[in-house]
Amino acid sequence: MTHTENVHIDLGERSYDIAIGAGLLDNASAWQDLPKAGAALIVTNHTVAPLYLARFQKSLSPHYPVIHVCKLPDGESYKTWDSLNQIFDVLLGKACDRKTVLFALGGGVIGDITGFAAACYMRGVPFVQVPTTLLAQVDSSVGGKTAINHPIGKNMIGAFYQPERVVCDLGTLQTLPPRELSAGLAEVIKYGPIADMAFLDWIEQHMDELLARDPQALAYAVKRSCEIKAWVVGQDEREGGIRAILNFGHTFGHAIEAGLGFGVWLHGEAVGCGMVMAAQLSERLGLVDAAFVARLTALITKAGLPVTGPALGADVYLHHMRVDKKAEAGDIRFVLIDPPGSAKVRGAPDALVAEVVEACCRA
């Protein structure tokens, strides 16, 4: 795929397109027909800015008379009230009005914070996601979940707030550190077991190309992931039901992230290991067979992701999982594979969960 592909998210008056292609950052047409405004604000970080900010500002400049910039410190540990306030400081300090368009240039951290800032500033201003990590292109920029972290729980303070557009420049993936590429592959792999086993076959057949950043392979992985996410979100924008399946691996994964302290493991690494744990729990509940668990574990390993969790103790895992947003009245809800290619959300006995944690963790 060398041209631009569009995946449509159908959400009534909140519908939008995801544009996917190489070189879109420099392509002025990618930025046409967005809401008009006297000013735009690009939110980015100190890692992404030296790589892409100048190019992006140049291509955005025909469309907005003034372009402000807010550069945040880099990292999950900065997904905080303080970073959010830095965005508001710029918006208010520059007297930005309620038509100002926010652009999130960066990975999932920048996308989630910027989206939440857009949801809050003057009770809502338009924003555009410009994801530059694989994880953000295949997942976090799509679907309108925005948030910051609280020390007690990840992504606990936030809003559903849809962007005007998502623009995925596949060229930006060439500068991603290898560990971040692997983290993004966890979210790509996720879509197979929950929705599309043919896609899981394709990922297995193309993992070498994906790790080598072959442009065609990355293009298909981003497009198919976005199609599946669009299909799910289009049915259940605010996660009343099916959208929860997108959290496959996340219940265990969030416990790893919170238990170790945010930022020690990458989100995608925690999700990769969490998918192995969730698959094992599915097996212990008789929903999938051992061959499926072995297949998924092998693929996650090949993607360069950990499949053995940190030995925090089952109690610590269970404690953090009770703070998960899917928990209901303190009962933990897991996304379980049943059968491969589809998923269900349900509880499981603590003792069984503890067995899985002990089996999957390294002392």
Q: Catalytic site residues?
A: 123, 145, 187, 229, 239, 243, 247, 250, 254, 267
Chain position whose Cβ is nearest to ligand GLY: 246
Surface-to-core class of residue 347, CB atoms within 10 Å of its CB (0-12 exposed, 13-18 middle, 19+ buried):
middle
Of 5, 76, 112, 139, which one interacts with ligand GLY (CB under 6 A)? 139
Confirm or reject binding of residue 112 to ligand NAD (CB under 6 A).
Answer: yes
In the numeric block, which tokens belong to residue 194?
């929950």
Instruction: Return the residue of 136, 246, 258, 353 that touches ligand GLY, per CB under 6 A.
Output: 246
Query: How far apart are the C-alpha atoms of 44 and 13, rounded to whole Å?
Result: 28
Q: Does 129 bind ligand NAD (CB under 6 A)?
A: no
Q: Binding segment for ligand GLY among 26-34, 45-53, 87-95, 242-250 (CB under 6 A)?
A: 242-250
CA–CA separation, 284 and 277 (whole Å): 11
136 within 8 A of 107, measured Cβ to Cβ = yes
End-to-end CA distance of the chain: 45
Residue 47 interacts with ligand NAD (CB under 6 A)?
yes
Q: Per CB under 6 A, which of residues 77..96 are in contact with ligand GLY?
A: none
249 contributes a contact to ligand NAD by CB under 6 A: no
Binds ligand GLY by CB under 6 A, chosen from 80, 110, 111, 145: 145
State the binding partner of 243 from ligand GLY, ligand NAD, none, CB within 5 to 8 A by kind: ligand GLY
Phi, psi of 16 (to 5 degrees): -160, 170
Question: Contact with ligand NAD (CB under 6 A): which of 4, 96, 104, 106?
Answer: 106
Residue 80 C-beta: closest distance to ligand NAD, Å: 11
In the chain, where do the E strands start and end? 5-9, 16-21, 39-45, 66-72, 101-106, 127-131, 145-150, 153-160, 165-169, 309-310, 334-337, 343-346, 361-362
CB 95 to ligand NAD: min, Å: 29
| Sites for ligand GLY among residues 303-362 (CB under 6 A) | none
Q: Under a CB-based contact definition with an 8 Å cutoff, are residues 206 and 213 in contact?
A: no
Residue 38 or 177: the one with the smaller Cβ distance to ligand NAD is: 177
Is residue 273 close enough to count as binding ligand NAD by CB under 6 A? no
Could you give phi then psi for residue 41, rounded to 5 degrees?
A: -125, 120
**CA torsion angle for 215, 218, 224, 228 (degrees, to 10)?**
-150
Q: Is 45 in the site for ligand NAD (CB under 6 A)?
A: yes
User: Three-state SS for 68?
Assistant: strand
User: How far, in Å, CA of 168 to CA of 222, rounded?
Assistant: 9
274 near ligand NAD, rule: CB under 6 A: no
Least separation in angstroms between residue 294's CB and ligand GLY is: 26
Amino acid residing at 261: G
Establish if 140 lies at the interface with ligand NAD (CB under 6 A): yes
- Token representation of residue 151: 């020390």
| Residues at the interface with ligand NAD (CB under 6 A) | 45, 47-48, 51, 74, 76, 79, 106-110, 112, 132-133, 135-136, 139-140, 143, 145, 155, 172, 175-176, 180, 183, 267-268
Interface with ligand GLY (CB under 6 A): 139, 143, 145, 243, 246-247
